[in-house]
Structure 1
């Protein structure tokens, strides 16, 4: 298990699956499972029975996790790019391979 190259708050592009080509922001990273949750992508519908907390019941839409290999960092022009680590000024920073731009602040 290695550290994820994609973190919470990153803008990503989906590379494969039913949502291929969609972009969104990572709302949660799950490094132990190598998965990420992306806003508005891989939405699953759950049928909920009425409960005291939710007396209406009905359909609930939830974003399901995606494997990290199915997403890539989006560059400023919105195209996918891989990520590499570089040392700049004694700090480890993430860099987009395609453009060479620094991802971390």
Structure 2
């Protein structure tokens, strides 16, 4: 996804803090809140979804080392925003609000997100 202006990143349909549903992949059907969005790679980290095992080497603070579970990134094309009104996954669009500022809205209910 590239924007028309090469210096600016493309607009995404998701943002940090959104509740999303995974629509494909190993974590299909799971929901969670977005923790981070990597715009350059078009990927996002979702809380509690796509857990991976990370081996941590021993160091001064942690002489034993350990194996920990953490969230891996998911491509944003595999995520859909959940409509707060209906609780279902929905597509999003952009339209001007009362003040004339572009804002995201749910295509299912028509409410602003």
Please, what TM-score do these two structures have when normalized by structure 2? Answer: 0.85
For structure 1, the 5+ residue unaligned runs are none
Instruction: Measure the CA separation in 2 of the matches of 1:78 and 1:45.
Output: 31
Runs of 4+ in 1 over 6 A off after TM superposition: none
Residue aligning to 2:44: 36
Aligned length: 103
Which of 91, 95, 104 aligns to 1:86? It is 95
Residue aligning to 1:95: 105
Which of 58, 67, 73 aligns to 2:81? It is 73
Question: What displacement does 1:18 show?
Answer: 1.2
Instruction: Measure the CA separation in 2 of the matches of 1:50 and 1:29.
Output: 29
For structure 2, the 5+ residue unaligned runs are 3-9
Q: CA RMSD in A?
A: 1.1
Instruction: Measure the CA separation in 2 of the matches of 1:95 and 1:74.
Output: 11
More relative contact order, 1 or 2 (CA 8 Å, 6+ apart): 1
Please, what TM-score do these two structures have when normalized by structure 1? Answer: 0.91
Which of 8, 11, 16 aligns to 1:3? It is 11
Question: What displacement does 1:65 show?
Answer: 0.8
Instruction: Measure the CA separation in 2 of the matches of 1:85 and 1:32.
Output: 22
Can you list the C-alpha shifts for 1:50-100, whole angstroms capped at 9, x where unaligned? 211222311111211110000000113331111100012211100011111
